[in-house]
Structure 1
Amino acid sequence: MVELNPLHYQNRRLETLVENRTLHTLNNAELNIFETHQKAAQVMLQFHEPVLASMIRGKKIMHLQNTPSFGFLPGESVILPSNELMCIDFPEASEQNPTQCLALAFNEAKLQQAVNLLNERGLKQNGKEWSMTDYNYHFTNDIAINQILQRLIFIFTENHPSKDIFADMLLQELIIRILQTESKSIYLKKSYTQPNNDRISFVLNFIRENITEDLTIELLSEKAYMSESNFYRTFKHETGSTPIDFIIEERLKLAESLLRDPKMSVKEAFMASGFNSFSYFCRIFKKKKNLSPTEFKEKSNQLKNRPMA
């Protein structure tokens, strides 16, 4: 999870209990830290540039144009086009549990540079160019995006003569990762509803349906009717992850689901989720979930057995 560093608290002034704003500016971006210390509803907020909003602490209810309302929780982000009007509720904010959220506004030209860089490396498989979303894209941060946001908070709040250079490089990486995350999300949705619509969606669906089988690049490239090198390059370019990484993600999702079943042992969950090595399964599970499979299962069972209030 992203956290605010001590420099933020040293320099911020608490002037209002609802969406108190601390602003840090650089040449091509501005970082806003918003903190709310009491319950509130229908707070309006708008930026004149594209913005990434990312929750740090607490809970918001977001009401956005042409998007169903949703709960906004730590570890989640939403990318918004310029001039998008946000209506925000704070149902749980208090002095003891303030809501904290960052809003990173991008310079349009810098944003387009990152998009152009992706297009220079290759168009999408359907021949379309990469472009920044013009609607509200809500997603859960992966490890890489969390690390970039954490680093940006530090750069914006430190006093370094080259901070603009550092921030520009990170902003470019952040934008590219968001674009690939969005692209992957679109393919995943299509893989459930229209798996035969394109090669990537078909392969994602094939992986899920054969998750316990020996899934090799050779086999997947054959299913996509592509050469191994072209398939691997296209998959990584459009989803931001390798085919093997995606297979591991899907096997971990399945294992997590199985471990929530009180009747399923850790060993049975391992065997049913397609992993070949128990030690590797335990290691990769702990790396992704910060809990071993056994600890995850115990915690899951405790939550299920907790009496209702």
Structure 2
Amino acid sequence: MDFYKITTDETLRETVQHGSDHYPFAYYPENIWEFDFHRIDWHWHHELEFLYVAEGSVLCLAGTSKIELPKGCGIFINSGIIHRFEVQGSTFTPNIVFSPTLLAPENSLIYEKYIIPVINSSVPYQVLRPYNRWENQILQLLTHIFSLQEAKETNELGTMQLLLQLWNILFENKDWKSDPDSIHRLNHKQAGLQTMMQYIHDHYMEEITLEMIAASASISKSGALHIFQSNIHCSPVAYLIQYRLAQAAEQLYTTQKSVFSIAEENGFTSSSYFCRKFRQHYHMSPNEYRKKKLTHCISHPV
């Protein structure tokens, strides 16, 4: 089994290009179980995303919500919304990610009338359920789009036709009126979250307190707690520990450093505390993780 890991910058914006400049559309026939630690971790992108649960079930965290997506359901993730997917077993979750400009050029009538109201709305996502008529129509169109991508010869024109049909149904059946105050609050919150995350990413090897994290965004401790909880459902200190663990996990299989050295270099006060937190978060010891990853690399050489 290959293990995949999503790559993001310091603001959690996904760094991979979806498609190309000439055709900003990408299809991903993914099994989330095959990602490191069985999750596609927190990220956001300017592109629009549609995901369908063909097999298994998925927990999606989007905006301030936790959404259970059983087999047969799907979800639309709006532009700029921070989200995460995690699973408890093998899945098949085909999804498409594409730029809003694929549907129409910016400054065109179509873009201004039918695209901007959606991406500027305060709606972070839309769950797609097979027992709702218009939502099921979108799910059916998605399966047709997936089939086109899996065909031997690509069919960009056919894909575009289906995307426009899908978008028309989504646009006509949802109230996309924007709430400027809500958008401002969302933008302000996400900017504060990203500022604090960047501070953590820059200083995680040092001793950091909640006060220091909050001060980096010029807000109170309670404000920092609220922004983290409402956006990624954990406290700033919990996120700091998770980030330290993620950096340590990478060092476990990319270096030959001792567990003690890795713990110390990643801001942990002792190796025993590091090992306890690692096991709590990843359900295995650091040495078990290192052995698992090294065995995988040997059996799947590049």
The TM-score normalised by the length of structure 1 is 0.43
Q: Give the structure with the higher percent strand.
A: 1
